[in-house]
């Protein structure tokens, strides 16, 4: 896995983000947006993902759109990312957009390494995911969620549940005293992804600094 770094190498705060080829091209701009919005030093590590549906899905599931199903190989991706999280003096925030946002949420149920999760427009419509959240305990204390206000207005019956599911996710986390923010953005799923992701990381950084939490 060829990881690309942006920002301040060795900074205390490390932002970790799975990216596809499009995200990887825009990661530098995203880092600049974060730098402009927060006074905190940070390093952003972008992890390239070749098979988005396979490498970021927590378990196997049939195709929801198109012909490609989900391979359930998130555990392998998480293992690779954790290889970059061995310095316990640093604070790690895992985040991403769409299925990468779902992956970030799921990962925080597997390990307590991440001080915060920044899930921008996460694919919480994924079959069984909010049920998984309800029956397991998350291992971070700070979670940022966002969604576009038109994302649930789609003809796809599975993806149309995303609004209800993200409300469920917020209720589940807040009910367990997790510091959880849910922010609504204008537009559908494809509007301003890099801006939304940058905002997610900024809010996660702000909450991390405010609470001083490592978990």
Question: What would the pLDDT profile of 152-193 be if each residue is shown by its tens digit?
Answer: 999 899 999 999 999 999 999 999 999 999 999 998 888 889
User: The domain spanning residue 101 has which CATH number?
Assistant: 3.40.50.1820
| Three-class secondary structure of residue 166 per DSSP | helix
pTM above 0.85, yes or no: yes
Task: Encode pLDDT of 69-84 as tens digits.
Answer: 999 999 999 999 999 9
pLDDT of residue 20: 87
> DSSP E strands: which ranges in the chain?
4-7, 13-19, 42-48, 60-61, 70-71, 91-97, 114-120, 142-148, 179-185
- 94 CB contacts (<8 Å, ≥6 apart)? 16, 17, 81, 104, 107, 108, 114, 116, 117, 118
State which residues form the domain around 43.
4-211
Residue 149, Cβ neighbours under 10 Å: how many?
13
- Tally of domains within the chain: 1
Task: Encode pLDDT of 88-141 as tens digits.
Answer: 999 999 999 999 999 999 999 999 999 999 999 999 999 999 999 999 999 999
pLDDT of residue 205: 96
């Amino acid at each position: 896995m060829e990881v690309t770094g942006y920002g301040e190498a060795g900074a205390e705060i490390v932002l970790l983000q799975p990216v596809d080829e499009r995200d990887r091209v825009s990661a530098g701009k995203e880092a600049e947006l974060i730098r402009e919005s927060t006074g905190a030093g940070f390093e952003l590590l972008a992890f390239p993902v070749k098979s988005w549906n396979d490498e970021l899905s927590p378990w196997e599931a049939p195709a929801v759109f198109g012909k490609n199903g989900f391979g359930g190989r998130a555990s392998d991706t998480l293992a690779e990312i954790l290889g970059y999280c061995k310095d316990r003096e640093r604070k790690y925030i895992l985040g991403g957009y769409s299925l990468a946002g779902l992956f970030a949420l799921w990962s925080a149920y597997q390990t307590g390494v991440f001080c915060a999760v920044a899930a921008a427009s996460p694919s919480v419509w994924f079959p069984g995911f909010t049920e998984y959240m309800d029956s397991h305990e998350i291992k971070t204390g700070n979670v940022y969620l966002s969604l576009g206000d038109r994302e649930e207005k789609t003809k796809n019956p599975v993806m149309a549940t995303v609004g209800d599911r993200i409300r469920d996710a917020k209720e589940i986390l807040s009910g367990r005293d997790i510091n959880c923010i849910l922010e609504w953005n204008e537009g559908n799923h494809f509007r301003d992804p890099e801006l939304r992701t940058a905002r997610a990381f900024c809010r996660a950084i702000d909450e991390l600094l405010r609470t001083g939490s490592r978990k």
